Structure 1
Amino acid sequence: MLGLAASSGITVIAALHTLDLAVRYADHVIVLDHGRIAAAGSPTTVLTPALLAQVFGVHGTFTDHAAPHLLLERRSAERQPPPSHE
């Protein structure tokens, strides 16, 4: 399906909660942190270990065998919501 969209010049927008799928299939990602844009760009440049820890509370690294994959190692301390601006 993605190959058909790419060959047709169609833009596909998807909300993914599985980071490895975003790494494998997306050309461009936008990472939201509590509803605000934390980073945007190619998955392999945006999904850095620092961003993964800050936004998702996980440690992760990339492998690039046949295709890039994101390996999530373990969950870090629970994230706290940002302070309210009310």
Structure 2
Amino acid sequence: MRNRLSLAFLFSGALLVACSDDDSFIQRPSGGLPAEVADKAELETYECSMDVIGEKVYVVDLGENYECDGDEWFRSYDQPKSSSSA
């Protein structure tokens, strides 16, 4: 009986680890995405994939945010507010 109890305890612990909210086992792009890049050419050096879908990067020379749709970078609908007042 003690062996069964020990085995059940070990198995339940394995399930807790497998179902954990900790997603550190998921591979992320190496180094992640920067908050901003100098130009669109630099942005294109970062892979837009399902791993970074919805992520935004500010392109300095265009003054716009670009967002990953899982396949390619597109001009985001969420743009920074202008610092100049009209």
Does TM, normalized by the shorter one, top 0.5? no
Higher Rg:
2
